[in-house]
Chain A
Amino acid sequence: MKLSRHTAGRGAISGQRRGISALVSWWDPRPFTQLFVIALILAALWLLGQNILAALARAGISPGFAFLGRAANFQIGEAVIPFSAGDTYLRAIGVGLINTLRVALAGCVLAALLGTALGVLGLMGNPLLTRLVRIYVEVIRNTPLLLQLFFWIALARNLPGPKQAPHLGGVWLSNRGIFVPAPVAENGWALPLALTALVFLAAFALRRFGGLRYVWTGAFVASAGILWASGISLDIPSLQGFNIRGGLSLSPEFAALLLALVVKFSAAIAEIVRAGILSVPEGQREAARAMGLSEWHIMRLVVLPQALRVIVPLTTSVFLDLAKDSSLAVAIGYPDLVSILNTTANTTGQAIEAVLIMAGSFVILNLSVAFLMNRYNARVALRGEHRR
């Protein structure tokens, strides 16, 4: 602890100096050999490039990204932005990217929540809970993700069909997906939302400065009235033709992939959280207890802030794994980025470009996750340093 505090203070400067000296020592002894090696590598890359270009030319494939503007004549089952066959490849790839982000983001958040809960539960000192959490972690961690994915998709697909699907209050559970009622606006969302915001602002002011009672109840009643009057209603899913239509739906493929990712990676996070909490010396808890803090406060104020320093960096790498493994989607038919790029390469022949787009997207995704997590990590780490 002491040591790290000292170096942390001068971290930036010494890091820079170390970087330069490393470069110098790497470069110094035989500069010409270095240059020669670099030239050799560049030449090899150039040769490889030429070779690929020549091979492509012989196959009649012209490299480049012009295909992105051409029509993609396939249909995509799930799209957040509107897409229909005949739109451009760029749009199709955008649809795939959003689908990947959607499942990865939801996966990270839910896996973190579930993982943390499990990690904490396992350490509550209840032997039964501890055992159950251990079993969960062991079983999940030792089963290949693909197998789990096939299990979840089989389960999702074996829900009853639309005509037999159980439903309650507009919520349908079927092998076509999970359907829930969703609000729809007949005349757009802008006006009703603005009005509702105003009502709540007014309510806030009245409560704060006027000290009136029941303003919140009033505000809720008033905004419900506004929403109803401005043509907002609930779209309740119902059976139409072959399928359930209306409302908001979660496809079986999305649900299965999300579940598989959350279950698999929550086990990894539970282990990390456990390790993080155990890394906080027992003495600190005892001290906190002696001061009369409640168990919840001990966790919240003493243990977690320190445990996070262990937890956050490790969780970052779990998140990256999760994002990467979301590409298992291909196997069950969820149209993620990789699946759309596969089809793109298959119909255009631009495989190199498809790989570049895939690699580029995952690098950017990983760097952003790593960046955000590192920012967070810096916060949890620094706070501790400054306090002392």
Chain B
Amino acid sequence: MSSSGIFTRSLRALTAAAVIGAAAIPGIASAGDTLDAIKERGVIKVGVGTTPGFFSPDSDGKWQGFFIDYGRALSIAVFGEDGKVEFTNSSPQQRLPALQAGEFDILLSGVTVTINRAFNLGFHFGPTVFYDGQGILVRKDIGVTTAAELDGATIGVQSGTTGELNIADFFRKTGHNFTPVTIEDTSEFIAALESGRVDAITQDSSDLVGKLQQLKEPDNYILLPERLSKEPLAPAIRAGDDQWLEIVNWTVYATIQAEEWGITSANVDEFLKSEDPAIQRFLGVDPSLAEAIGFQPDWAYKIIRTVGNYGEIYERNLSPLGWKRGYNDIWTNGGLLYSPPFR
């Protein structure tokens, strides 16, 4: 990449955001724009991060992970088949402007729902798919075990994240001092911790746990027990396109509802024989509901058969990293996940 390349790139991200709506860019969508554009293009453009378990390319460059599976589910909801999604990595700094400028149809990159993003930045959010909190990953050699001991520390933060703001709040609240090193590039962010340029880095704990896997010596670091914030991670889209928002909403709900009913990729075919009218409507055995909405009758059936219900998606991608369900369990198990009724 040439030097003026990166200048243009960062300039472009800003200008891209600046020219939203100018000319023919999908821009601030009105209802239906996004879906029309997707159908015409034949593929959904999704912005993602790079964290093992959540989104990471495997050795063949094929994307895998928790959020990736939601991209696949969307492909099925829109096209009736898997695989019509294009995942592109985008830094926390660049992805919101890029979404606003129409480079993406949706971000499945661990974006936190905040009131500022909803009102001032012009984004809408689908249902929260992962309840997270901001963590701090410290080098063991500084001998710190709680966040309260970090007075005077140098802490790496990633620019454009909620973490950049939360950490400042945290130190203002505790009356302690810290020096941030604010880095956009994800690998530079990690390198700053590994080299000891910073004592600690702060990000969503989901991100830190994933990134810990990639460090050369994971044992040299500890994730402090405190969570500095609430980070409800949800799909993000441009404000103004209600239709696209509802497609995203109900695609996520389908995976949650299926888990509540105990419908899995393995047993979904048996459920086709269910006597429960709600399940019949859900799986399209009774096509009346889906037809009235304009969906293909078997859209939810195909999603469950292909990517599975919420629990399956979670366990396939996150359990290997040691994640417990915790808040991210369905409400009937004491978690926070709750789907409105399919009727």
Contacts and interface: CB of A to CB of B under 8 A. Distances in A.
Contacts of A252: 197
B6 A77 contact: no
Contact of B168 (A74, A242, A330, A341): A74
The A interface, classified by DSSP as helix, strand, loop or mixed, is helix
Given A242-B152, A333-B181, A352-B18, A157 B195 contact: yes
A348 B18 CA distance: 12
B247 interface: no
B207 to A, nearest CB: 17
A55 B7 CA distance: 26
Given A59-B239, A73-B169, A349 B14 contact: no
Contacts, number: 194
B10 A51 contact: no
B182 A343 contact: yes
B122 A146 contact: no
Contacts of A22: none
A253 interface: yes
B161 to A, nearest CB: 9
Interface residues of B, number: 65
A351 B18 contact: yes
Interface in A64-83: 73-77
A146 to B, nearest CB: 5
Contacts of A146: 1-3, 5-6
A145 interface: yes
Contact of A77 (B93, B142, B182): B182
A51 B240 CA distance: 15
Interface in B191-210: 191-192, 195-197, 199
Given A242-B199, A253-B181, A332-B188, A74 B164 contact: yes
A342 B239 contact: no
B120 interface: yes
B134 interface: no
Interface string A338-353: 1101110111110110
B239 A157 contact: no
A324 B22 CA distance: 27
Contacts of A84: 172
Nearest to B183: A333
B159 A342 contact: yes
Interface centre among A58, A73, A84, A355 (most CB of B within 10 A): A58
A325 B4 contact: yes
Nearest to B153: A242
A354 B20 contact: no
Most chain B beta-carbon neighbours within 10 Å: one of A153, A330, A354:
A330
A121 to B, nearest CB: 26
A348 B120 contact: yes
Interface string B1-45: 111111100110111011111110001101000000000000000
A169 to B, nearest CB: 24
A346 B169 contact: no
Contacts of A327: 6-7, 10
B17 A345 contact: yes
Contacts of B278: none
Contacts of A348: 120
B120 to A, nearest CB: 4
B168 A161 contact: no
A75 B180 contact: yes
A354 B100 CA distance: 15
A274 interface: no
B179 interface: yes
Contact of A144 (B2, B22, B154): B2
Interface of A: 48, 51-52, 54-56, 58-61, 73-77, 84-86, 144-146, 150, 153-154, 156-158, 161, 175-176, 240-243, 252-253, 264, 324-325, 327-328, 330-333, 335, 338-339, 341-343, 345-349, 351-352, 354-355, 358
The 3 closest A-B pairs by CB, nearest first: A55-B21, A59-B122, A145-B3
23 contacts: A48-B22, A52-B21, A56-B122, A58-B28, A61-B122, A75-B168, A76-B182, A77-B182, A86-B172, A145-B2, A145-B3, A146-B1, A157-B191, A241-B151, A242-B153, A331-B6, A332-B183, A332-B185, A333-B181, A342-B184, A345-B14, A345-B17, A358-B11
